[in-house]
Amino acid sequence: LDKVGIFMKVEILKALKESPQQYVSGQQLSRLLGVSRTAVWKYISELRQEGYQIESSSRKGYKLITSPDNLSAEEVLVNLHTSFLGKEIRYYETVSSTNNVAKEAAARGCMEGTVIIADRQESGKGRLGRHWVSPPKSGIWMSIVLRPKILPMQAPFITLLAAVAVSKAIEEIAQIKPGIKWPNDIVIHKKKVCGILTEISAEMEQVNYLVVGIGINVNFDISNFPDHIRETATSIKAETGTYVNRVELIVSLLEKFECLYSKAFDEKLRPQLMEEYKAYSVTLGNRVRAVSMNHAIEGYAEDITNDGELMIRTDDGKLHKIISGEVSVRGMYGYV
């Protein structure tokens, strides 16, 4: 990973974007970065190879014409305003699963907030060994490494916050309000647009790291969905009819997640965070069926506690607390 190269390219892009449609001289860039003009030229050529259209004139310098419509660490970093989340971004064209890459990075001690993004996953993972369909150019397949100082049993709460962050970002960038199906499926018009898979490395008393894996169907065409999910899945573009810029969505998501995460450990703020979650819930107030290891219960989703557990009232009047598992909502995919 060429961290210096990424840093230099981000700084060059920032400078070029600050003077839209104007030339920035090679000398200015070389002074800004503290490298030679030849080095500047080398980074500019790399940016061109990555799809940036940059005009150059030997007298006037460089001018950014267009940015590529693909994912890259540079594009995200240029636009991102966070203090720790996404300060290190590793972008790959193809990986097996961004969660696996993130777990390896975490085990080797990468810093908190490191983000792994891929354009395509060869073996994207859902929960319980299920497969996550992750074709190129149309989705966000991303994993975030966190090192919260919490007990392992508190980890699900962080995942709920990730669901809120995704929902807020979709709302901001695509102007459509999604719903959250407990615990963390994001749905639009009753179909699944995003799934979250959190993996944890922990001892009894402490979390070593969490990897929060987020998969969002952004610009998928419905006709491209494989048969087995065509009825249940959707994409932002399929529901809104408009193309969504993935970089903008990632930036918004990381900024919103950092903001929520920074409040997550203040007990006093929990009720407020859970209110935000509940405002998106499509589970609350509906008839649901919860299936766990060995039994199923059916009832009415009455509340979600401040720790994120789902309270289900069964027809005999009893209240059940569900900590994790599969909960399907009547009228929505998966309810049989």
Please list every residue from 64 through 93 that binds ligand BT5, using CB under 6 A: none
Site string for ligand BT5, 220-239 (x = CB under 6 A): ---------x---x------
CB closer to ligand BT5, 86 vs 213: 213
CB closer to ligand BT5, 152 vs 334: 334
What φ, ψ does residue 55 adopt, rounded to 5°?
Answer: -90, 145
Question: Contact between 143 and ligand BT5 (CB under 6 A)?
Answer: yes
Task: Pick from 52, 132, 209, 280 the residue near ligand BT5 by CB under 6 A.
Answer: 132
CB closer to ligand BT5, 52 vs 141: 141
Question: Contact between 273 and ligand BT5 (CB under 6 A)?
Answer: no
Question: Contact between 219 and ligand BT5 (CB under 6 A)?
Answer: no
Site string for ligand BT5, 189-208 (x = CB under 6 A): ---x--xxx-----------
Question: Contact between 217 and ligand BT5 (CB under 6 A)?
Answer: yes
* Residue 99 CB, nearest approach to ligand BT5 (Å): 4
HSE-up (13 A, CA, CB side) for residue 68: 15
Piece of the chain touching ligand BT5 by CB under 6 A; list 30-38, 141-149, 172-180, 316-324: 141-149
Q: Site residues (CB under 6 A) for ligand BT5?
A: 97-99, 121, 124-128, 130, 132-134, 141-143, 185, 192, 195-197, 213-215, 217, 229, 233
